[in-house]
Amino acid sequence: MSAIDKYNKRAKKINSLLCVGLDPDFEKIPEKFKATPFPQFEFNKYIINETHEYAAAYKPNIAFYEAKGAKGISELQMTTDYIQKNHPDIFIMLDAKRADVGNTNTGYVTEAFDLLKVDGITINPYLGQEAVQPFLNRIDKISSVLALNSNPGAGEFQNLDVGGGKKLWQQVVENVSTKWNTNNNCMIVMGATHPEEMKEARSMTGATFLVPGIGSQGGDLEMVMRNGLDSDGLGLMINSSRGIIFSEDPKKEAQKLCEEIRKYQTN
Amino acid sequence: MSAIDKYNKRAKKINSLLCVGLDPDFEKIPEKFKATPFPQFEFNKYIINETHEYAAAYKPNIAFYEAKGAKGISELQMTTDYIQKNHPDIFIMLDAKRADVGNTNTGYVTEAFDLLKVDGITINPYLGQEAVQPFLNRIDKISSVLALNSNPGAGEFQNLDVGGGKKLWQQVVENVSTKWNTNNNCMIVMGATHPEEMKEARSMTGATFLVPGIGSQGGDLEMVMRNGLDSDGLGLMINSSRGIIFSEDPKKEAQKLCEEIRKYQTN
């Protein structure tokens, strides 16, 4: 089974391309969770219990846990353990945007894949393939490479013309597709706020896109679906974090987004 | 006091531009430390006790601690606490190469600057200034931005021509120097393996360079010093990790490198 198969299997089984971002920003967690010994974990447990039937993937962003130091990392571990025990077929993407030089990455690889036992991790391409090879060598796991992010200022470098009208993010997509992905274990991060570019990226690669920026960041779901789906009606992992987890009714919001996704899934 | 002053003051006081990398790779730590309850911390304590008189800065790379999960983060905290208590004038640079989108960075900012209380952190420019502004907003702390790394494959994207013969890493140096550094709290990472490019970078900015790649990676110290020093005989933070900490005699190796640095410090 290739690394992406776990996600595709779950996506097909529940007919969903939804990824729920587990970003337990401590300031925003309801007070009742803060009164427990493990607030971030208890909040996540609640979110997972509410949303799992619509979730093809969960994506904890490690920054929110690191804000709490060693305790936060323990609660992240409790969270990934909880998902693996109760919903072993749901894909877990660790959003960490990591990258260091060569074997230094081994520390991050160990943390993500051997301690937290997540299925994938987001990585930053700036240091080049040679640097992040320790991630790519894990053929049992997904490396999801940043190409074009959803933040307003992402273009400062990502949109620079690197020759012949090609932009840096396109060069990243090209290199990942033709060189980095020999183990068929790469995904690519394409922000929902750039639907035209997603069309372009889809023409360049068959890799699955991790798509942040739906919901509070203003990405257009219909355009994302139209431009990003592959010929199997897969190829997208569509993330929403705040729009679901800090809503009045996370279950209802997850269901709503899941059903919107299904509406545009014409295959 | 601007954020870089702490480093410059220490550098002048002990006449050293040496930064010792605290990278306690668990596989390489001597057995006697592994037998203690806090092996990474005990090893670091030993290294700090041996090298502090030559160290203008220490640079723990968080990847080596994350490999040990929550316990590793605790030992990193013990390490930074130990330095702050015993050598409060030594600058601490957390090597984390972080970057996320907007306020998500707040988690990393809190971890680095409020929990670990380090003086600076390395950040990755790929997402643009708008994304990493939460780091830059901390005027009391240094953000050290990756420009040209020391790994053999760093050029895959960093050396791309982004127009008019300008390379991506030069664009990063230019943007950091002219736009990101309004609070005078940016440093720039320039690998020792690219001494010619360091000359070019020095002509573009007065920022201090964090220089990895001396020692085991083969950087040429004399060229680095000749091309990277500023007119005050400062402007460089020269890191060595493995070459010192895993040597037979860390004190001797730190002294040796420190004295080599002094030799080329003509000011």
Condensed to tens digits (0 to 9), the pLDDT of residues A165-208 reads 999 999 999 999 999 999 999 999 999 999 999 999 999 999 99
What lies within 8 Å, CB to CB, of B184 at 6+ separation is: B2, B3, B4
Task: Report the residue of B28, B127, B170, B211 to disrupt the A interface, i.e. the one with the largest count of A CBs within 10 Å.
Answer: B127
For chain A, what's the residue count? 267
User: Is A218 near chain B, with CB under 8 Å?
Assistant: no
Across B114-267, the runs of DSSP E, i.e. the strands, are 120-123, 142-148, 186-190, 209-211, 236-240
Nearest to B154 among A97, A128, A162 (CB): A128
Query: Which DSSP category does B97 fall into?
Result: E
CB contact under 8 A, A128 and B151: yes
Read off the pTM.
Answer: 0.97
Residue range A210-246, pLDDT digits in tens: 999 887 677 789 999 999 999 999 999 999 999 999 9
User: What is the spatial distance between Cα B139 and Cα A23, in angstroms, rounded to a whole number?
Assistant: 27
Residue whose entry in the numeric block shows the structure tokens 């014409």: A266
A166 as an active site residue: the answer is no
- For residue A239, the chain B residues in CB contact (below 8 A) are none
Q: How far is CA B57 from the centre of its chain?
A: 8
The pair of three-digit structure tokens given for residue A105, joined into one six-digit string: 């990455």
CATH number at residue A206: 3.20.20.70
Separation between Cα atoms, residue B116 and residue B171, nearest integer Å: 31
d(CA B146, CA A124): 12
* Tokens describing residue B39: 């092996």
pLDDT at B1: 73
- From A108's Cα to the closest Cα of chain B, the distance in A is 6
**Of A99, A107, A156, which is closest to B128 when you measure between CB atoms?**
A156
State how far the Cα of A219 lies from the Cα of A213, in Å rounded to an integer: 5
Note the pLDDT of residue A69.
95
B39 vs A: CB within 8 A: no
Angle at A182 between CA A179 and CA A184, to 5 degrees: 125
Q: How many domains does chain A have?
A: 1
Rounded to the nearest 5°, which phi and psi values hold at B75? -70, -30
- Mind listing the pLDDT tens digit for each residue in A10-64? 999 999 999 999 999 999 999 999 999 999 999 999 999 999 999 999 999 999 9
Chain A residues in contact with B171 (beta carbon < 8 A): 157, 160
- CB-CB contact of B190 with B158 (8 Å): no
Nearest to A124 among B95, B99, B175 (CB): B99
CA distances to B94, B117, B208, B229 from B238, rounded to whole Å, are 14, 21, 10, 11
CA dist A124 and A97 (Å) reads 5
- How many whole angstroms separate alpha carbon B176 and alpha carbon A204? 32
| Burial class for B51, CB neighbours closer than 10 Å (0-12, 13-18, 19+) | buried
Predicted ipTM > 0.95? yes
d(CA A251, CA A233) in angstroms, rounded, equals 24
Whether the CB of A192 is below 8 Å from some CB of chain B: the reply is no
Distance CA A246, CA A216 (A): 11
Q: Does A69 touch chain B (CB under 8 A)?
A: yes
CB A100 within 8 A of CB B150: no
Pairing of strands A57-60, A18-22: parallel
Nearest chain B residue (CA) to A112: B67
Q: CA-CA distance, B175 to B186, in Å (whole number)? A: 11
Q: What is the pLDDT of residues B26-60, one digit of tens each?
A: 999 999 999 999 999 999 999 999 999 999 999 99
Question: Domain range for residue B173?
Answer: 5-264
pLDDT at A265: 82
Amino acid, single-letter form, for residue A187:
M
Return the structure tokens found at B61. Answer: 């790379």
Q: How far is A169 from chain B (nearest CA, A)?
A: 10
Of A42, A80, A86, A43, nearest to A59 by C-alpha is A80
